[in-house]
Structure 1
């Protein structure tokens, strides 16, 4: 199912959620060739219909990490590219959860969504490894975020 298919309600809702969440808390890195965007948010922000349509687990104690990779083109445009994405979420006691990412491919957009559990008012360190080129080392991304039960 395409996230940005304008004829599909759940797809539009997830795309809108990712876009609005991105606008509020999106982070990115760029090296001139690749631009990697990432953010994390409560899975309860996703409607039940959107979660079901995209096989996402919804819970007030579960968060989602969204990663997308764009490659800079010679003409200045950006093209979504596939990547190997892995990571983990760790609490302050260094108890880690491995993130398993699901690829959502729309053709003109490509996302990797992973999920993890959290408790009320929990600070987590999220470590991501994003490898757009399998012949080169992965980019390492680390960020801290506090999560609240919604």
Structure 2
């Protein structure tokens, strides 16, 4: 989790095979040994119960040899929760450097992190 202004940003990047086939199908996620899933959720830190916050998310992933992939995030709502999901294809032991812009219309912040993916 990273605190960015009034936002609590929770994020992870995982191998898509960690999802069950049922969950992957429900969210139109390719469940492959060569596909990663980026999951971001944003909570509003200005409210007492820190509810989920709808935001605009754009991002890119760069690998070690400078190849850049544009991430396409889909918004998923489940009850009071809001998630933003994107997929990225990778090769074994490929590291990606993620640069993601998050905006709620009042604040805009950059989230940067890296993740190494492994083919199982």
The TM-score, its normalising length taken from structure 1, stands at 0.75
Higher relative contact order (CA 8 A, sep 6+): 2
5+ residue gaps, structure 2, are none
Aligned with residue 12 of structure 2, among 29, 39, 49:
39
Kindly indicate which of the two structures has a greater share of residues assigned to helix: 1
Runs of 4+ in 1 over 4 A off after TM superposition: none
Are 1:78 and 2:69 an aligned pair?
no
Q: Are 2:89 and 1:117 aligned?
A: yes
Specify the alignment match of 1:143 in structure 2: 113
CA distance in 1, matches of 2:65, 2:36: 19
Question: 1:11 maps to which residue?
Answer: none
- Per the alignment, residue 26 of structure 2 pairs with 53
TM-score by length of 2: 0.92
Aligned residues: 120
Which structure has the highest strand share of the two?
Answer: 2
